[in-house]
Structure 1
Amino acid sequence: MKKHVLTITIILLCAASAYAAEDILIADFEGDSYGDWKVTGEAFGPGPAKGTLPGQMKVSGFKGKGLVNSYYKGDDTTGTLTSPAFKIERKYISFLIGGGMHPGKACINLLVDGKVVRTATGPNDRPGGTEALDRASWDVSDLIGKKAVIQIVDQQKGGWGHINVDHIVQTDTKPKVPSRGNFTQEMTINKKYLIIPIRTGARKCNLELEVAGRKVRRYDTEIAENADSVDFYAYFTIESYRGKPAIVSAKGAPEEGFKLIHQSNRIPGAEKFYTEELRPQLRFSQKVGWNNDTNGMVYYDGEWHVYFQHNPVGWNWGNMTWGHFVSTDLIHWKQLPNALFPSTMAKGACFSGSAAVDTANTAGFQAGGEKVIIAALTDTGAGEAIAYSNDRGRTFTWYDKNPVVRHSGRDPKIIWYEPGRYWVMAVYDQSKEHGRNIAFYTSKDLKEWEVQSHLPGYYECPEIFELPVDGDKDNTRWVVFAADARYATGRFDGKTFTPDHEGKHRVHYGSYYASQIFSNPPDGRRIQIGWARIAMPGMPFNQAFTLPHRLTLRRTADGIRMFATPIKELTKLRKKKHSADSAELTAESPKTIAVSGELFEIRAEFAVGQAKTVGLDIGGNRVTYDVGGNKLNGADMKPVDGKVSMQVFVDRPMIEICGNDGRVYITSARGKRGEVPAIKAFAEGGEAKLTKLDVYELKSIWKK
Structure 2
Amino acid sequence: MISLPNSLHLRKQLIALLVVSFALHATELVQSQDTPEADLVIADFEGDSYGDWITQGDAFGTGPARGTLPGQMQVSGYEGSGLVNSFRGGDRATGTLTSPPFAVERDYLTFLIGGGGHANKTCMNLLVDGQVVQTITGENTQSGGSEALAPAFWNLSELAGQTVQLQIVDQATAGWGHINVDHLVQTDTKPNLPEWDRREKAFVVTDTYLVIPIENAGRGKGQIQLFADDKEVRRYDLTIATSAETTDWHAYFTIDAYQGQNARVVATKVTDEGFAAVRQSNSVPGEGEFYREPHRPQFHFTQKVGWINDPNGMVYHDGTWHFFFQHNPVSLPWGNMTWGHATSQDLLHWEQQPNKLFPKTMATGNCFSGGATVDKHNTSGWGENTLVAFLTDTGSGEAVTYSNDGGKTFQWYEGNPIVKHQGRDPKVIWYTYDDADTPLNEAAKELGGHWVMVVYDEHPEHGQNAAFYTSINLKDWTLQSHLPGYFECTELFELPIDSDQANSRWVVFAADAKYAIGSFDGKTFTPEHVGKHQVHWGNYYASQTFDNTPDGRRIQMGWLRINAPGPYNQHFSFPHELSLRTTEDGVRMFAQPIDEIEALRSNRHQLPPQDLTADEAISLPVGSDLLDVQCTIEIGTASSLELTVAGRTIRYDAKTQNLNETPLNPVDGKISVRVLADRSLTEIIGNEGRVFISGPGPARQPSTSITVTARGGTAKLLKLDAHELRSIWSDADGSR
**TM-score normalised by length of structure 1:** 0.89
Superposed displacement of residue 441, structure 1: 1.1
Select the residue among 659, 684, 704 that pairs with 2:711.
684
**CA distance in 2 between partners of 1:697 and 1:114 (Å):** 67
Is the aligned partner of 1:601 residue 2:617? no
Q: Is the 1:609–1:688 contact (alpha carbons within 8 Å) kept by the matching residues of 2? A: yes
SS of alignment partner, residue 596 of structure 2: helix
Question: Could you tell me which residue of structure 1 aligns to residue 585 of structure 2?
Answer: 558
**CA distance in 2 between partners of 1:448 and 1:511 (Å):** 37
Is the aligned partner of 1:301 residue 2:318? yes
Q: Between Structure 1 and Structure 2, whose CA radius of gyration is higher?
A: 2
**CA distance in 1 between partners of 2:116 and 2:716 (Å):** 62
Select the residue among 116, 133, 137 that pairs with 2:149.
133
Q: Is the 1:29–1:68 contact (alpha carbons within 8 Å) kept by the matching residues of 2? A: no
**CA distance in 2 between partners of 1:41 and 1:472 (Å):** 57
Render the CA deviation track for 1:534-592: whole Å, top value 9, x for unaligned.
111x2211111111111122222222222211111110111111111111002343321
Question: Could you tell me which residue of structure 2 aligns to residue 362 of structure 1?
Answer: 379
Superposed displacement of residue 252, structure 1: 3.1
Render the CA deviation track for 1:155-191: whole Å, top value 9, x for unaligned.
8646656655444444443322122232223222221
Q: Is the 2:58–2:93 contact (alpha carbons within 8 Å) kept by the matching residues of 1? A: no
Distance 1:357 1:17, change over 3 A: farther
Is the aligned partner of 1:540 residue 2:555? no
Distance 1:443 1:270, change over 3 A: same
Instruction: Report the AA paired with residue 335 of structure 1.
Output: Q
Superposed displacement of residue 199, structure 1: 2.2
Q: Is the 1:93–1:140 contact (alpha carbons within 8 Å) kept by the matching residues of 2? A: yes
SS of alignment partner, residue 522 of structure 1: coil
Select the residue among 387, 411, 419 that pairs with 1:405.
419
SS of alignment partner, residue 395 of structure 1: coil
Instruction: Report the AA paired with residue 517 of structure 1.
Output: T
Is the aligned partner of 1:206 residue 2:216? no
Instruction: Report the AA paired with residue 177 of structure 1.
Output: L
Aligned length: 688
Instruction: Report the AA paired with residue 390 of structure 1.
Output: N
Is the aligned partner of 1:277 residue 2:294? yes
Instruction: Report the AA paired with residue 207 of structure 1.
Output: I
**CA distance in 2 between partners of 1:638 and 1:39 (Å):** 47
**CA distance in 2 between partners of 1:36 and 1:588 (Å):** 52
**CA distance in 2 between partners of 1:469 and 1:642 (Å):** 24
Instruction: Report the AA paired with residue 515 of structure 2.
Output: Y
**CA distance in 2 between partners of 1:489 and 1:111 (Å):** 59
Q: Is the 1:78–1:157 contact (alpha carbons within 8 Å) kept by the matching residues of 2? A: no
Task: Give identity over the alignment, percent.
Answer: 52
Is the aligned partner of 1:326 residue 2:353? no
Greater Cα shift, 348-357 or 503-512: 503-512
Superposed displacement of residue 453, structure 1: 1.6
Instruction: Report the AA paired with residue 354 of structure 1.
Output: G
RMSD (Å) for aligned C-alpha atoms:
3.2
Superposed displacement of residue 594, structure 1: 1.2
Q: Is the 1:137–1:177 contact (alpha carbons within 8 Å) kept by the matching residues of 2? A: no
Question: Could you tell me which residue of structure 2 aligns to residue 651 of structure 1?
Answer: 678
SS of alignment partner, residue 228 of structure 1: coil
**CA distance in 1 between partners of 2:60 and 2:499 (Å):** 61
Select the residue among 601, 613, 616 that pairs with 1:574.
601
Greater Cα shift, 78-87 or 185-194: 78-87
Which blocks of at least 5 consecutive residues in structure 2 are unaligned? 1-22, 434-447, 732-736
Question: Could you tell me which residue of structure 1 aligns to residue 397 of structure 2?
Answer: 383
Select the residue among 230, 235, 247 that pairs with 1:230.
247
Question: Could you tell me which residue of structure 1 aligns to residue 37 of structure 2?
Answer: 22
Question: Could you tell me which residue of structure 1 aligns to residue 467 of structure 2?
Answer: 439
SS of alignment partner, residue 661 of structure 1: helix
Distance 1:163 1:573, change over 3 A: closer
Q: Is the 1:625–1:632 contact (alpha carbons within 8 Å) kept by the matching residues of 2? A: yes
Superposed displacement of residue 306, structure 1: 0.7
Select the residue among 496, 504, 526 that pairs with 1:498.
526
Select the residue among 389, 396, 401 that pairs with 2:410.
396
Select the residue among 230, 241, 258 that pairs with 1:241.
258
Which blocks of at least 5 consecutive residues in structure 1 are unaligned? 1-7
Question: Could you tell me which residue of structure 1 aligns to residue 513 of structure 2?
Answer: 485
Q: Is the 1:604–1:647 contact (alpha carbons within 8 Å) kept by the matching residues of 2? A: yes
Question: Could you tell me which residue of structure 1 aligns to residue 77 of structure 2?
Answer: 61
Superposed displacement of residue 258, structure 1: 3.1
**TM-score normalised by length of structure 2:** 0.86
Render the CA deviation track for 1:424-475: whole Å, top value 9, x for unaligned.
1111112122122211111111111111122222211112112222222222
Greater Cα shift, 549-558 or 510-519: 549-558
Q: Is the 1:154–1:161 contact (alpha carbons within 8 Å) kept by the matching residues of 2? A: no
Q: Is the 1:579–1:695 contact (alpha carbons within 8 Å) kept by the matching residues of 2? A: yes
**CA distance in 2 between partners of 1:499 and 1:16 (Å):** 81
Instruction: Report the AA paired with residue 312 of structure 2.
Output: N
Instruction: Report the AA paired with residue 190 of structure 2.
Output: K
Greater Cα shift, 558-567 or 687-696: 558-567
SS of alignment partner, residue 245 of structure 2: helix
Render the CA deviation track for 1:258-277: whole Å, top value 9, x for unaligned.
33222111111100011111
SS of alignment partner, residue 324 of structure 2: strand
Instruction: Report the AA paired with residue 432 of structure 1.
Output: P
**CA distance in 2 between partners of 1:233 and 1:624 (Å):** 41
Superposed displacement of residue 500, structure 1: 2.4
Is the aligned partner of 1:181 residue 2:208? no
Greater Cα shift, 300-309 or 415-424: 415-424
Instruction: Report the AA paired with residue 543 of structure 2.
Output: S
Question: Could you tell me which residue of structure 1 aligns to residue 306 of structure 2?
Answer: 289
Q: Is the 2:577–2:593 contact (alpha carbons within 8 Å) kept by the matching residues of 1? A: yes
* Correspondence 1:505-524 to 2 at 5 A: 505-524=533-552
**CA distance in 1 between partners of 2:547 and 2:37 (Å):** 67
Question: Could you tell me which residue of structure 2 aligns to residue 96 of structure 1?
Answer: 112
**CA distance in 1 between partners of 2:162 and 2:392 (Å):** 56
Instruction: Report the AA paired with residue 374 of structure 2.
Output: V
Question: Could you tell me which residue of structure 1 aligns to residue 646 of structure 2?
Answer: 619
Superposed displacement of residue 29, structure 1: 4.5
**CA distance in 2 between partners of 1:462 and 1:559 (Å):** 23
Render the CA deviation track for 1:501-558: whole Å, top value 9, x for unaligned.
222222212211111111111111111111112111x221111111111112222222
**CA distance in 1 between partners of 2:213 and 2:67 (Å):** 27
**CA distance in 2 between partners of 1:271 and 1:214 (Å):** 33
SS of alignment partner, residue 671 of structure 2: strand
Q: Is the 2:536–2:692 contact (alpha carbons within 8 Å) kept by the matching residues of 1? A: yes
**CA distance in 1 between partners of 2:369 and 2:399 (Å):** 11
Q: Is the 2:170–2:179 contact (alpha carbons within 8 Å) kept by the matching residues of 1? A: no
**CA distance in 2 between partners of 1:643 and 1:41 (Å):** 52
Is the aligned partner of 1:701 residue 2:728? yes
Question: Could you tell me which residue of structure 2 aligns to residue 639 of structure 1?
Answer: 666
**CA distance in 2 between partners of 1:534 and 1:385 (Å):** 30
**CA distance in 1 between partners of 2:263 and 2:636 (Å):** 71
Q: Is the 2:536–2:691 contact (alpha carbons within 8 Å) kept by the matching residues of 1? A: yes
Distance 1:465 1:155, change over 3 A: closer
**CA distance in 2 between partners of 1:566 and 1:27 (Å):** 54
Instruction: Report the AA paired with residue 286 of structure 1.
Output: Q
Is the aligned partner of 1:336 residue 2:364? no
Distance 1:101 1:654, change over 3 A: closer
SS of alignment partner, residue 271 of structure 1: helix
Distance 1:527 1:68, change over 3 A: closer
Instruction: Report the AA paired with residue 554 of structure 2.
Output: R
Distance 1:216 1:480, change over 3 A: same
Greater Cα shift, 556-565 or 646-655: 556-565
Superposed displacement of residue 482, structure 1: 1.0
Question: Could you tell me which residue of structure 2 aligns to residue 450 of structure 1?
Answer: 478
Question: Could you tell me which residue of structure 2 aligns to residue 661 of structure 1?
Answer: 688
